[in-house]
A = this chain, B = another copy of it.
Amino acid sequence: MKAPEPLGGPRPTSRDVAAAAGVSQATVSLVLGGKWHGRVSERTAGLVRDTARRLGYRPNLAARNLRLGRTRTALLVVPALTNEFFARVYTGASAVAARHDFGVVLYPSPQGVGPARDPFASARTALDGVIASSMATDALHAFHDTDLPLVMLDSDPADRGSAAQVNLDIADGMRQVTGHLLALGHRRFVHLASAVPSWTFDVRARALAAALRERPDTTVRTVPAPLDVAGAREAAARALAAPGPRPTALVCDDDLIAAGACKAVRRLGLRVPEDVSVTGFDDLALATAVEPELTTVGLPAEQVGERGMEALLAVLDGRTPPPGDLPVTLRVRASTAPPPRA
């Protein structure tokens, strides 16, 4: 009836449990490991389990990891968790991991770009594999070199190497956005493009350019914008103040940029969407919090994490992860409308 090791005393080991139960350490390991059928009697197994519970036994994971040579732990590399998209990716990956008795540890790669510092210096535990999201090309080399199974999320197929990949059909998203705006009658576009160099943004730019190239009556200007509302607002303000006819549609690489763009439009005394249409990307919580609600592209972020983790598990299992991009969906809301008749 005494508390399980009230304090001070070191944690009980499987040997302690064995001694208390009057069996050998191997038996304890067998029973608690679940693979004792036909090796240990029901009665002994029960006794062992009770004793373990009574002593408050918890297996030493460091020892187990050493013995097994695996840790059932994956490293998830993300640029920044404060970005809702990556928080959702983590959530998805973590959920699948939990289901397979896996753990996920994060490596917040410094500013999402540049030659990330050695992530393994930060990992305090051995890893079974790596899931890297939206990494810059050069940063990836650090991983390719480690012979650890690698899954890349939302990243350039050209960097693929021997890694598995889980990608979003970003290009299709941008095509849908463009199609939607063209159908509404827009012809003069500004692309508020993220300044962060990353495949996920390059694809947006290329898809937009490709779509408009087929329509000679359209114009588009690309303006770089930082990935935050205040900075994006300024960038958008400058874009709108530029000489020449005013653009009727602002195509933004991200919802944060779109929110900033909306503010810039209104600051000029114009209305969204009557005077200027604005589109976002990602469909963050923000998109339905602002007014007007943003027309944007919904990305299945959790699914990216889930598929990423599943791919890693597949690789670890010697299987080949299923190919195929994840579909994205255009969410038409209130920030887009036909251009003014001018």
A63 within 8 Å of B by Cβ?
yes
Q: Which of A167-175, A180-188, A286-294 contacts B (4 or more CB under 8 A)?
A: A286-294
Q: Which of A117-125, A234-242, A244-252, A319-327 contacts B (4 or more CB under 8 A)?
A: A117-125
Per-residue contact bits, chain A 34-74, to B (CB 8 Å; 1 contact, 0 not):
00000000000000000000001010111101100001110
Q: Which residue of B lies closest to A9 (CB)?
A: B147
A82 within 8 Å of B by Cβ?
yes
With a cutoff of 8 Å between Cβ atoms, the chain B residues found around residue A126 in the complex are 60-62
With a cutoff of 8 Å between Cβ atoms, the chain B residues found around residue A291 in the complex are 262-263, 266, 290-291
With a cutoff of 8 Å between Cβ atoms, the chain B residues found around residue A104 in the complex are 106
Q: Which residue of B lies closest to A118 (CB)?
A: B58
Judging by beta carbons under 8 Å apart, are B125 and A103 in contact?
yes
CA distance A3 to B6 in the complex (A): 52
Judging by beta carbons under 8 Å apart, are B73 and A91 in contact?
no
Per-residue contact bits, chain A 68-85, to B (CB 8 Å; 1 contact, 0 not):
000111000000111010
A274 within 8 Å of B by Cβ?
no
Tallying the copies of this chain within the complex gives 2
Per-residue contact bits, chain A 2-33, to B (CB 8 Å; 1 contact, 0 not):
00111100010000000000000000000000
Judging by beta carbons under 8 Å apart, are A58 and B266 in contact?
no
With a cutoff of 8 Å between Cβ atoms, the chain B residues found around residue A87 in the complex are 81-82, 87
Per-residue contact bits, chain A 99-119, to B (CB 8 Å; 1 contact, 0 not):
000111110100000000000
Judging by beta carbons under 8 Å apart, are B58 and A120 in contact?
yes
With both chains docked as a complex, state the minimum distance between the C-beta of A284 and any C-beta of chain B, in angstroms.
Answer: 9
CA distance A288 to B259 in the complex (A): 10
Judging by beta carbons under 8 Å apart, are A4 and B145 in contact?
yes
CA distance A71 to B290 in the complex (A): 44
- A–B pairs, 6, beta carbons within 8 Å: A62-B62, A62-B71, A65-B125, A80-B91, A91-B108, A105-B105
